[in-house]
Structure 1
Amino acid sequence: MVTELNIVTVMNTVAETLTYPIKLDEALEQITQGAADTVPGIDHASITLTTRHGQIETLAPTDQVAVLLDELQYDLREGPCLDAALRDPWVQVDDLAADDRWPGYGARAADEFGIRSQLAFQFRAEPHARGALNLYANKAHAIDMDTRQVGAMFARLAAIALGWSRHDETLGHALGSREQIGQAVGIVMERYQLDPDRAFSFLARTSQTANVKLHDVAAALIAETVTRAR
Structure 2
Amino acid sequence: MTETKLHLEIAEAMSEVAAALKVPMDLDDTLEVITRCAADTIPGIVEASISLTTKNGEIRTLAPTSPTIIRADHLQYELGEGPCLEAALEEPVVAVNDLAGDPRWPYYGPKAAALGFGSQVAFQFRAEPHARGALNLYAREPNEIDQDSIYLGSMFAAQVAVAMGWARQDQTMSDALATRNVIGQAVGIVMERYKLDSDRAFAFLTRLSQTSNTKLHTIATALVNQTNDLSEH
TM-score, with length taken from structure 2: 0.61
Q: Pick the aligned partner of 2:122 from 117, 120, 123.
A: 120
Cα distance in 2 for residues equivalent to 1:45 and 1:106: 17
Give how far 1:106 is off: 0.3
Indicate the residue corresponding to 1:101 in structure 2: 104
Cα distance in 2 for residues equivalent to 1:129 and 1:30: 19
TM-score, with length taken from structure 1: 0.62
Give how far 1:56 is off: 1.1
Aligned length: 158
Give how far 1:17 is off: 7.5
Cα distance in 1 for residues equivalent to 2:43 and 2:84: 19
Q: What is the alpha-carbon root mean square deviation over aligned residues?
A: 3.0
Q: Quick one: which amino acid aligns to residue 42 of structure 2? A: V
Structure 1: any 5+ residue segments left out of the alignment? 165-230
1:56 aligns with 2:59: yes
Indicate the residue corresponding to 2:195 in structure 1: none
Sort the Cα spacing of 1:19 and 1:134 in 2 relative to 1 into closer, same or farther, 3 A. closer
Task: Note if contact 1:52-1:129 (Cα within 8 Å) is conserved in structure 2.
Answer: no
Sort the Cα spacing of 1:29 and 1:106 in 2 relative to 1 into closer, same or farther, 3 A. same
Task: Note if contact 1:73-1:81 (Cα within 8 Å) is conserved in structure 2.
Answer: yes
Indicate the residue corresponding to 1:212 in structure 2: none
The higher-RCO structure (CA 8 Å, 6+ apart) is 1
Q: Superposition pairs for residues 24-43 of structure 1, below 5 Å?
A: 24-43=27-46
Cα distance in 1 for residues equivalent to 2:96 and 2:19: 39
1:133 aligns with 2:131: no
Give how far 1:53 is off: 1.6
Which entry has the higher C-alpha Rg, 1 or 2? 2
Kindly, what percent of the aligned residue pairs are identical?
Answer: 56
Residues 60-111 of structure 1: CA distance to partner in whole angstroms, max 9, x if unpaired? Answer: 000011111001111111110000000000100010111010100001111x
Indicate the residue corresponding to 2:163 in structure 1: 161
Give how far 1:52 is off: 3.2
Task: Note if contact 1:49-1:131 (Cα within 8 Å) is conserved in structure 2.
Answer: yes
Q: Quick one: which amino acid aligns to residue 30 of structure 1? A: V
Structure 2: any 5+ residue segments left out of the alignment? 167-233
1:151 aligns with 2:163: no
